[in-house]
Amino acid sequence: MSIAVSLSHITIEFAQNLLLSDASAQVNFGDRIGIIGPNGAGKSTLLKAIAGQVIPTMGTINSAVLTVAMLEQQRLDTCLSGAEAFEVAFTQVLSESPDILLLDEPTNHLDPSRRKRLMRLLEGYYGTVLIASHDEQLLETTVDKLWVVDHKQLITFPGRFSEYWLWQEKRVEALQAQKEKLKNTKKSHHQQRMKAQEKSAKKAAQGKKAIQKRKWPTIQSKTKLARGQECSDKIAAELKNKAAALNDALSEIHLPELPIPRFSFEHEPNKHRSEILISDGTLKINEALLLEDINFYLRSGEHVGIFADNATGKTSFFKAIMGQPDVVRSGQWQVPPFDMIGWLDQHYALVDNASCPLEAIENRRPDWTPTECRRHLCDFLFSTTEQVMQPIKTLSGGEKARISLACIAAAAPPLLLLDEVTNNIDWWARQQIISVMKAYPGSLLLISHDAEFLKALSLDQVMTIKDKQLKTIELTLPLL
């Protein structure tokens, strides 16, 4: 298979930040490569370097291709919706018939129908494709190789997304097992060494009198003792080196650190006040009918997801539950009071008025001491002074999601509504959201285009909206 692009010992810096150091890889003609890594790790910059838009600080990128086309988020027409703008730009890029197609987060803002259409287009695309994405389903179905950009390194993996994480977990398990075995070996060696020293001390005490009586030194005995000590020291040094090597190997594996959420309810939980019961409901905006024949029951403590295309009325349904005036509802609607409902969307407006994570928690819980606020932030992985004082506006999407969840947990509402909270965040942050939401003790209703995210939450029920009606779909069925 001939090489299309080769990266040789490249170092990439952006805005004085080192993103990649001494990275090497190659792209063969016909390759379908997924690029993954945390937000800010350098995935987009790496794509730009391959496209010739960014020059590496060190190393070389050699290309044997005639045309490279890159679809960036910045190229999207802001006059259109995110999904419409992407389709226009993607069609234009395909019309150029490039040898290599570079896509940066192509499924952001796409609803299930458009995501499915994109995957079909990519399946039929003849050329070489590199996709930077956090979309599990896209990566699982579209690419067969991975480049992992993380901690200034570029790791190549010859397999699918799910295989990569399974491989990582097995590596950690194997290294941890070796570490435990080494720990036991060191303990055993230490005990043997102590016994040998005790035995030697006894022999030395017993032989001291004999030496004095004979009046000449026992050179052989001392030499033997020195050799034994030297051998013991050598074994200890070898074990120490092995332990250091295992720790180095473990430090190179970066799995997501998960929060340990503790929820404090602002209101005393009430079984019936966190329920939603709608009978023969309808929903309108400006006389336009969005939903009809709504019969929906969310029990206290249930977690339910809504998976549907854009413009079907999902967000309007949330607005109706919250009693917002621009949505007209009819029928019987039994919903919790407004102050018992929490809403979190993809823009994380909950923390907009705070200057830093610490202030966000202080605003949410003015009755807490600074120590209590810091302890709560630590549960959500904001542990250092630098992290708790970092300006909100400089946080990544994943960090904003995490501080928003910390605020929710600090004064947890009995009913929580989540609207597309996984848009624009990386896989690492997504795992953190899953960890917190699975532990959420209140009632939960969420909207998402991300089928894998919904599956990972182990929801009690998943619903969709078709033909202006809210319908249940089976969790066991493919959601796309």
- 122-139 tens-digit pLDDT: 888 888 999 999 888 899
**How many other C-beta atoms can be found within 10 angstroms of the C-beta atom of residue 458?**
11
- pLDDT, tens digit, for every residue of 320-361? 999 999 999 999 999 999 888 999 887 888 888 889 999 999
Closest CA to 336 of 441, 419, 443, 471: 443
Mean predicted confidence (pLDDT) in 369-397: 91
Spatial neighbors of 130 by CB under 8 A, at least 6 apart, are 27, 31, 33, 34, 35, 47, 50, 100, 101, 102, 103, 147
Contact by Cβ (8 Å): 160, 62: no
- For residue 358, the Cα-to-chain-centroid distance in whole angstroms is 23
Structure tokens at 330: 């009819």
SS3 at position 362: helix
Q: Which amino acid is at 436?
A: V
Instruction: Give the orientation angle of helix 370-379 with respect to helix 397-410, to 10 degrees.
Output: 130
Taking residues 412-435, report their average pLDDT: 85
Mind listing the pLDDT tens digit for each residue in 427-444? 877 888 898 899 898 899
Give pLDDT, residue 100.
92
Average confidence (pLDDT) over 365-390: 93
pLDDT interval class at 217 (50, 70, 90): low
How much is the mean pLDDT over the chain?
A: 83
* Cα 385 from Cα 279, distance rounded (Å): 50
Of 167 and 33, the one with more pLDDT: 33
User: Across residues 244-261, what is the average pLDDT?
Assistant: 65
Q: Is residue 479 over pLDDT 50?
A: no
Q: What is the pLDDT of residue 77?
A: 45
pLDDT digits (tens, 9 = 90+) for 151-201: 899 999 999 988 988 887 787 787 777 777 777 776 776 677 677 667 666
Q: Which of 318, 303, 307 is nearest to 438 (CA)?
A: 303
Residue 36 scores a pLDDT above 60: yes
Q: How confident is the model at residue 476, as a pLDDT?
A: 56
Structure tokens at 97: 């018939």
In 381-420, beta strands by DSSP E: 415-419
Type of residue found at 15: A
Q: Any idea what DSSP says for residue 395?
A: S
Q: Which three-class secondary structure state does DSSP give residue 230?
A: helix
Of 238-242, 267-271, 408-412, the poorest mean pLDDT is in 267-271
Max Cα separation, the chain? 116
Residue pLDDT, tens place only, 72-82: 765 444 455 55
Residue 236: partners with Cβ closer than 8 Å, 6 or more residues away: 186, 189, 193
Q: How far apart are CA 347 and CA 289, in angstroms?
A: 27
What pLDDT score was predicted for residue 110? Answer: 82
Tokens 């007209």, located at residue: 328
Beta carbons within 10 angstroms of residue 301's beta carbon = 16
- Flag whether the pTM goes above 0.85: no
pLDDT of residue 181: 78
Residue 31 belongs to what H/E stretch?
none
User: What is the pLDDT averaged over residues 282-304?
Assistant: 94
In degrees and rounded to multiples of 5, residue 130 shows phi and psi of: -125, 125
The predicted-structure confidence for 71-123, as pLDDT tens digits, reads as follows 876 544 445 555 667 777 787 887 778 889 999 988 877 888 888 888 888 88
The answer to whether 27 and 4 are in contact (CB under 8 A) is: yes
Amino acid identity, residue 29?
A: F
Question: What phi and psi values does residue 266 have, to the nearest 5 degrees?
Answer: -65, -35
Strand order in the sheet with 276-285: 288-298, 276-285, 328-334
Average pLDDT over residues 212-222: 53
Name the 3-class secondary structure at 290.
strand
Higher pLDDT, 274 or 199: 274
* Across 445-460, average pLDDT: 91
Residue 241's pLDDT band, with cuts at 50, 70 and 90, is confident
DSSP 426-464: -HHHHHHHHHHHHH--SEEEEE-S-HHHHHHTT-SEEEE
Helix (H) or strand (E) holding 331: strand 328-334
Give the separation between CA 163 and CA 173, rounded to whole angstroms: 15
Query: CA gyration radius for the chain?
Result: 30
Mean pLDDT over 365-382 rounds to 93
Q: How far is CA 23 from CA 10, 12, 27, 146, 150, in A?
A: 5, 9, 13, 14, 11
pLDDT at 81: 55
**Nearest partner of 100 among 134, 150, 66, judged by Cα:** 66
Closest CA to 147 of 45, 15, 53, 72: 45
Determine how many CB atoms are found less than 10 A away from the CB of residue 201: 10
CB-CB contact of 129 with 152 (8 Å): no
For position 84, what pLDDT does the model report? 67
Q: Higher-confidence residue: 15 or 312? A: 312
Q: Tell me the C-alpha distance between 368 and 384, whole Å.
A: 19
